[in-house]
Amino acid sequence: MHIATCVWQEKAAAAAAAAMGAGGGGGVGAGKKGERVSVAALVAAAGGALNCAVSLVVFSVLDVLDVVLCLVYKLVDYAVEAEWKACYCTAAARDGAGPRILVPPEAAAAAPGPKVVRLSASSAKMQLEDVSDTLYVRPSLLADATRKGAGPAAPALTVSPAIAEMIRGKMDRPPRPPRQAPCWSDCDCKVCHAWSAAPRSASHLYVHVQAPPPGAPAAEGVAVEDVVFIHGFISSSVFWTETVFPAFSAAARGRYRMFAVDLLGFGRSPKPAESLYTLREHVEMIERSVLQRYRLGSFHVVAHSLGSVLALALAVKYPDAVKSLTLLAPPYFPVPESEAGAATQYVMRRVAPRRVWPPIAFGASMACWYEHVSRTICLTICRHHRVWDRLFRILTRNRVRTFLIEAFMCHTHNAAWHTLHNIICGSAARMDAYLDVLSSELSCKVSIFHGRDDELLPVECTLAVGARVPRARVTVYDRKDHITIIVGQEELFAAELEAIWRSAAAE
């Protein structure tokens, strides 16, 4: 862990220097330096207090606004689509008073965490879905600030409406087909919803394939290798195809077959309204759309942000198939023992701290804590992404590539809400197990990259992964954040990936 060790050494040296400056070295210069340090500390403390005070007011208002929007959307949904839409902010869900069904203890113990029994959309088979309790246990900021203990316990098992209908004596009725028409608040353009026109495409993700030209590998006498690229939260395959794909060398384009997927609910992939967007659903769709469809026997994986969780799940499930694992800004927050009983809640507070500054934390907090405020953001941005794209092109005179707008805006609220909670927050208890398996049982090459200026997922996430997987090569880029770790240094990162794949093949 070359760079990670350097970072820890830098932190230790900085702490030692601060201690020396505070405790010793007399003289006028030392006195002035100490005064400057004291003033800076006071300003930082004042800024932090102001941030907390403003955040308390702003997020208290958002707590009330979300309740109002809940009623507004229920009325509009009923008026437009003639049905009440379920949400996670009801008292019954919050208190765990909803309907329950008993399952064998061994089934419940197979995967820790809350479960939802639901009917599979593709068959009459009942399945246990792992869901995050952060979907329905989200205390208000005021209640959270005054709470004692670890907070309310989430119900261990709830029942989806499909199962509730079966219990009422409707077991003879065939399951309803998955709804493919977009909700009134979702975009229905060809980019977002082309999958609904063809029933067969609803069972597969959109996959961009960049294959070597015919005869290129044979001419060099080298076998073709496969690489799977997985994007992060509210993104799409264009995060890869518009950046590193064109930057690869001619030799790499002739040797590697590259697959960039749009995850379930994002980009051009299906966005089913009934899906809970759980880890199982995301992984199964990648398996069906890439591994099985293109018959991948062995492959490299490159993943960014949230995609790192799915990449780890694939590596653990296919230990003999993964040749190398490259993770960019993985969302790993080691959970302290004192928070072990509420790991998902701990991760939610780390990802979305409910602070107005920095802006990226404010945006993450609104998207994570407020179900109906989040839906309003999607209604404003995602449903009208074509308008925003045109405005951006006009304002920049078409001089700036707009692929990031497409990547950021082509999803639904249902997909973003469930994926954020069920993958990032809900996988909190799984991450330690995944990393332990990666460290002790898998032999694939592991490389991790992070931007030191990443305000969404701090560099400590990558350092923690490096500490958990000692053989991992950790690289921290200075003056790079969550996006510019790729965008702006495409050629450098493409060269890094080529070196990783060549090294993995040589081992």
Helix (H, G, I), strand (E, B) or coil at 270: coil
Pairing of strands 473-477, 445-451: parallel
| Phi and psi torsions of 226, nearest 5° | -105, 145
| Distance, CA of 76 to CA of 85 (rounded, Å) | 10
Q: Is 482 a known active-site residue? A: yes
How many secondary structure helices (H) and strands (E) does the chain include?
21, 10
Q: What's the chain's length in residues? A: 507
491 within 8 A of 499, measured Cβ to Cβ:
no
Looking up tokens 């993700």, which residue turns up? Answer: 205
Which of 231, 418, 421, 450 is catalytic? The answer is 231
Which of 160, 235, 305, 447 is catalytic? The answer is 305
Which of 193, 300, 372, 482 is catalytic? The answer is 482
Under 8 Å CB-to-CB from 412, ≥6 apart: which residues?
A: 182, 183, 186, 192, 265, 271, 273, 378, 382
Q: Is 305 a known active-site residue? A: yes
Q: DSSP secondary-structure letter at 276?
A: -
Q: Is the peptide bond before 359 cis (omega within 30 degrees of 0)?
A: no
| Phi and psi torsions of 490, nearest 5° | -60, -45
Helix (H, G, I), strand (E, B) or coil at 309: helix
Q: Is 384 a known active-site residue? A: no
Q: Which among 335, 349, 313, 329 is positioned nearest to 462, based on CA atoms?
A: 329
| Distance, CA of 470 to CA of 332 (rounded, Å) | 15
Question: Is the alpha carbon torsion for 72, 75, 77, 80 positive or negative?
Answer: negative
**Measured at the alpha carbon of residue 420, what is the angle toward residues 417 and 425, in degrees to the nearest 5?**
130
Which of 66, 130, 454, 481 is catalytic? The answer is 454
| Distance, CA of 52 to CA of 34 (rounded, Å) | 27
| Distance, CA of 34 to CA of 382 (rounded, Å) | 51
| Phi and psi torsions of 482, nearest 5° | -65, -30
Residues annotated catalytic, as ranges: 231, 305, 454, 482
